[in-house]
Amino acid sequence: MIKSRGRTTYKTSGFVLGAIDYGDSDRIVTFYTDRYGKLKGIAKGARRSTRRFANALELFSLSTVMLSRSRGSGLALIENCDVVNHYSGIRNDLEKLLGASYMIELIDHMTLEGKKSLVLFNHVKAFLDLVDANMYSDDLIHFFELRLLRYSGYDPVLDRCIVCNTPVDGIEKPCFSVIDGGIRCGRCRDNGRPQIPVSVGTLKALLMSKEIDIDKINRLSLSRQSLKESEAVLCSIIEHTIGKQVKSLKILRQIQGIVENKSGV
CB burial of 97-121 (b: ≥16 within 10 Å; e: otherwise) equals bbbbbbbbbbbbbbbeeeeebeebb
CA gap 192, 197 in Å, rounded: 15
Tell me whether residue 47 or residue 189 sits nearer to Zn ion (CB atom). Answer: 189
The window from 82-90, 122-130, 157-165, 216-224 that contacts Zn ion (CB under 5 A) reads 157-165
> For 215, which DSSP code?
G
158 binds Zn ion (CB under 5 A): no
**Which stretch of DSSP H or E encloses residue 158?**
strand 157-161
User: Which of 164, 208, 251, 258 is close enough to bind Zn ion by CB under 5 A?
Assistant: 164
In the complex, what is the shortest distance from the CB of residue 170 to Zn ion, in angstroms, rounded to a whole number? 10
Tell me whether residue 146 or residue 161 sits nearer to Zn ion (CB atom). Answer: 161
In the complex, what is the shortest distance from the CB of residue 262 to Zn ion, in angstroms, rounded to a whole number? 45
The window from 8-16, 94-102, 146-154, 156-164 that contacts Zn ion (CB under 5 A) reads 156-164
Let me know: does 167 contact 183? Beta carbons within 8 Å.
no
User: Which of 81, 175, 188, 222 is close enough to bind Zn ion by CB under 5 A?
Assistant: 188
The window from 184-192, 196-204, 219-227, 255-263 that contacts Zn ion (CB under 5 A) reads 184-192
Tell me whether residue 161 or residue 227 sits nearer to Zn ion (CB atom). Answer: 161
CA gap 159, 183 in Å, rounded: 8
The helix-helix angle for 94-110 and 138-151 (nearest 10°) equals 10
User: Which of 67, 130, 175, 185 is close enough to bind Zn ion by CB under 5 A?
Assistant: 185
135 binds Zn ion (CB under 5 A): no
Q: How many residues bind Zn ion, per CB under 5 A? A: 5
161 binds Zn ion (CB under 5 A): yes
Let me know: does 92 contact 82? Beta carbons within 8 Å.
no
The window from 113-121, 147-155, 160-168, 253-261 that contacts Zn ion (CB under 5 A) reads 160-168
User: Which of 77, 83, 163, 196 is close enough to bind Zn ion by CB under 5 A?
Assistant: 163
Using DSSP's 3-state secondary structure scheme, residue 265 falls into coil
> What amino acid is encoded at 166 in this protein?
T
In the complex, what is the shortest distance from the CB of residue 168 to Zn ion, in angstroms, rounded to a whole number? 11
In the complex, what is the shortest distance from the CB of residue 182 to Zn ion, in angstroms, rounded to a whole number? 10
CA gap 118, 109 in Å, rounded: 17
Of the candidates 186, 146, 139, the one whose C-alpha atom is nearest the C-alpha of residue 164 is: 186
Let me know: does 106 contact 146? Beta carbons within 8 Å.
no
CB atoms within 10 A of CB 56: 23
168 binds Zn ion (CB under 5 A): no
Residues within the interface to Zn ion (CB under 5 A): 161, 163-164, 185, 188
